[in-house]
Amino acid sequence: MSTPTITEEVLNLPLTDLIRSVTNRKTFSPEALKEMSESIKEKGVLQPIVARPVKSIEDEAVRAAAIKAGAKYEIIMGERRYRASKLAGKTDIKAIIRPVSDYDALMVQLMENVHREELPPLEEAEQFHGLLANGKTTIADLVVKIGKPRLYVYQRVSLLKLPDKAKKALREGKLSLPVALLIARIPNRTVAEYATTRILKGDMRGNPFSLSEAHHLILNECMMQLKEAPFDTKDKELVAEAGPCSTCPKRTGNEKELFADVGRCDVCTDPVCFQKKREAARALVLAKAKGEGKKVLTPDESAKLYPYQHGQLGYDAPYIDLDTQCPFAPRKTWGQVIARLPKNERPEITVAVDKIGGIHELIGRKEAGEAARSLELATPTETRGDLSPSAIQQRQQARETRERHERMIRTVDLVITAVLEKQAKAKDAKALARLLLAVAVKASNFDTKRRVSKRHGFTTPKQNGELIPYYLKQAKAAAADPLPFALETLLWQESLFADRALPEILVEACKLYGIDAKKIEAAAKEKSAKDESEAAPVKEVNRLAQKPLSPAKLVASK
């Protein structure tokens, strides 16, 4: 870039002859201006400002506005000194006059602002953009001139893409610069406006999102994982104006410096474009399905089958998804199972689209059951009704339990048959008596065994687990014939909790052995009354001993 020859002169200009530059900074600290005005009151302006004649302004609209305002010169450098002088009550200011072009004026302003008080980010972005739009400089030139990294310039310029709401919040300090830079990277304006609204709305307490929270929001709600894309990311024709994702500048891997914090290269930063490609791919798949003779459901029909947002079939849907696991064939999907059938025997495939845009191939539940039976993978019982994995698993477990029970019953039947055959050939009943005693002990509860043991003078253990072998051992030692002992145990087991009437089993026993049950019951009542009368005096003494005497009764007793 050639440097033009500039003729300078120093003049003392009235403040009314000056107008501020539209490309210079617009925001100044009130405190700094007041401090400078106090200094100017005391010492005057020590360094002249730089201005150019209004006729040097190349932008016709800006030049016309300046002339209409009655200005003769435009301030290039020193607007803070100009404002502070007005604040201090001065009427004129010393100025260096340079008749420079719009581009040179903007470059001078930028250099002054970069090396002095920090310029607000949006104003710096406007200056960078003005220089780059002029066509006389590049980002590489700016990097050299201002001594800032390339990413710094690129990020500042990107701030101009912010939605108006985000720009306003950034100027007012409601949005931090790092968060604004995150929003500025979103290429789609609608998505950027959504992110701005969510970030400014903040958490439940109304606090704006922090940098990490904003980063998480944008990464999870405003970006899409290309590896999960339901379309070919290298397809150039899917959406012609977008081109392939592999070379798109909206892919984080193609702007690694700008998206270094994302940590992944295969991420799309434009979910709207991603959605367009997904819809285009979906339309192609559905058209292909129709061409293959598959039944394609309407959106309303699909919505009834997929009422949930997570893309799962409704629990009462009459279809099965071919991508789900077949419970009759481990590690196989229904699609893989159906593929084993001859083509002319395969059930009709129905295609549906869920609420989040996923495409599903389905077959009817009835047809799925028929296919499983024809491939000898399941029984009719297992394939009836609901064919969800949980329902099928329950039926399989019930079948296994039933089969296990039937096997055991067959075993029991054979064992009992063998026992009866052995007993029929036995010459005595000792084995039978011992077996019946063991059965009686197993069938009786703890209280029964304890009462029978007490009647025979046994000392019973406290724990039920130790009582059965102990009981059998004592019974064997005390009785030469275990059969009466078994009979006694069973009769007590059936009679232990008798209350108002004699148990039916004892009534039956009395009939068999010719026993007068009523006579025994009367004798029991008579003995009970006698025991009660003998115990009465003892009870009264105990009652009086527990009840304290009054002082009068105590004297009388003496």
Looking up residue 105, the CATH number of its domain turns out to be 3.90.1530.10
Q: Which of 371, 395, 419 is the endpoint of a domain?
A: 395
Indicate whether 134 belongs to any domain: no
The closest of 30, 32, 35, 26 to 171, measured between CA atoms, is: 26
Average pLDDT over residues 358-380: 87
Q: Hey, what are 140's tokens? A: 């590489």
CA distances from 35 to 39, 87, 115 (A): 7, 10, 20
Residues 1, 92 share a domain:
yes
Position 350 scores a pLDDT of: 92
Please, how many CA atoms are within 13 Å of residue 117, restricted to the half-sphere of its CB?
A: 13
Q: Please tell me the distance from the alpha carbon of residue 356 to that of residue 306, in angstroms, as a whole number.
A: 10
Residues 460, 387 share a domain:
no
Q: Which of 100, 119, 138 is the endpoint of a domain?
A: 119
Residues 304, 254 share a domain:
no
Residues 437, 386 share a domain:
no
Q: Which residue has the tokens 């009764």?
A: 553
Asked if residues 40 and 93 have their Cβ atoms less than 8 Å apart, the reply is no
Of the candidate ranges 2-11, 281-290, 448-457, the one whose mean pLDDT is the lowest: 2-11
Q: Which residue has the tokens 């150039």?
A: 236
Indicate whether 286 belongs to any domain: no
Taking CB atoms within 8 Å and a gap of at least 24, the contacts of 435-441 are 436/482, 436/483, 436/486, 437/472, 437/475, 437/482, 437/483, 437/485, 437/486, 437/489, 438/472, 439/486, 440/485, 440/486, 440/487, 440/489, 440/490, 440/493, 441/468, 441/471, 441/472, 441/475, 441/489
Position 550 scores a pLDDT of: 41
Type of residue found at 519: K
Residues 343, 304 share a domain:
yes
Indicate whether 22 belongs to any domain: yes
Q: Which of 74, 79, 124, 382 is catalytic?
A: 79
Residues 111, 3 share a domain:
yes
| Residues facing 352 on adjacent strands | 360
Indicate whether 147 belongs to any domain: no
Q: Is 421 a catalytic residue?
A: no
Instruction: Kindly report the average pLDDT of the chain as a whole number.
Output: 80
Indicate whether 375 belongs to any domain: yes
Q: How confident is the model at residue 547 (pLDDT cuts 50, 70, 90)?
A: very low
pLDDT tens digits, residue range 47-67? 888 888 988 888 888 888 888
Indicate whether 177 belongs to any domain: no
Residues 323, 259 share a domain:
no
Type of residue found at 151: L
Of the candidate ranges 47-51, 160-164, 217-221, 392-396, the one whose mean pLDDT is the lowest: 392-396
Q: Please tell me the distance from the alpha carbon of residue 178 to that of residue 71, in angstroms, as a whole number.
A: 39
Q: Is the pTM of this model over 0.85?
A: no
For the chain, the C-alpha Rg in angstroms (whole number) is 50
Q: Please tell me the distance from the alpha carbon of residue 70 to that of residue 93, in angstroms, as a whole number.
A: 17
Residues 302, 371 share a domain:
yes
Domain count, the chain: 4
Residues 337, 231 share a domain:
no
Q: How confident is the model at residue 362 (pLDDT cuts 50, 70, 90)?
A: very high
Indicate whether 374 belongs to any domain: yes
Q: Please tell me the distance from the alpha carbon of residue 338 to that of residue 341, in angstroms, as a whole number.
A: 6
Q: What three-state secondary structure class fits 159? A: helix
Asked if residues 125 and 156 have their Cβ atoms less than 8 Å apart, the reply is yes
Q: What three-state secondary structure class fits 512? A: helix
Residues 303, 269 share a domain:
no
pLDDT at 1 over 50: no
Residues 442, 384 share a domain:
no
The closest of 50, 46, 58 to 18, measured between CA atoms, is: 50
Q: Which residue has the tokens 């709401």?
A: 165
pLDDT tens digits, residue range 139-170? 787 777 777 788 888 888 888 889 999 999 98
Between CA 233 and CA 238, with CA 235 as vertex, the angle to 5 degrees is: 105
Q: How many other C-beta atoms can be found within 10 angstroms of the C-beta atom of residue 181?
A: 18
Asked if residues 157 and 184 have their Cβ atoms less than 8 Å apart, the reply is no
Residue 525: which region, alpha, beta or left (left: phi > 0; alpha: psi -120 to 50)?
alpha
| Residues facing 93 on adjacent strands | 13
Indicate whether 19 belongs to any domain: yes
Q: Hey, what are 353's tokens? A: 């689209």
For 329, the domain range is: 294-395
Average pLDDT over residues 426-449: 78
pLDDT tens digits, residue range 18-29? 888 877 777 777
| Residues facing 53 on adjacent strands | 73
The closest of 188, 144, 136 to 163, measured between CA atoms, is: 188
Q: Which residue has the tokens 């490309």?
A: 23
Q: Please tell me the distance from the alpha carbon of residue 349 to that of residue 342, in angstroms, as a whole number.
A: 14
Q: Which residue has the tokens 């409601």?
A: 174
Average pLDDT over residues 523-532: 70
Segment of 345-349, 482-486, 496-500 carrying the highest mean pLDDT: 345-349
Choose between 24 and 279: higher pLDDT.
Answer: 279
Residues 343, 308 share a domain:
yes
Please, how many CA atoms are within 13 Å of residue 481, restricted to the half-sphere of its CB?
A: 6
Q: What percent of the chain has pLDDT over 90?
A: 4
Q: Please tell me the distance from the alpha carbon of residue 80 to that of residue 27, in angstroms, as a whole number.
A: 10
Position 333 scores a pLDDT of: 92
Q: Please tell me the distance from the alpha carbon of residue 306 to that of residue 303, in angstroms, as a whole number.
A: 5
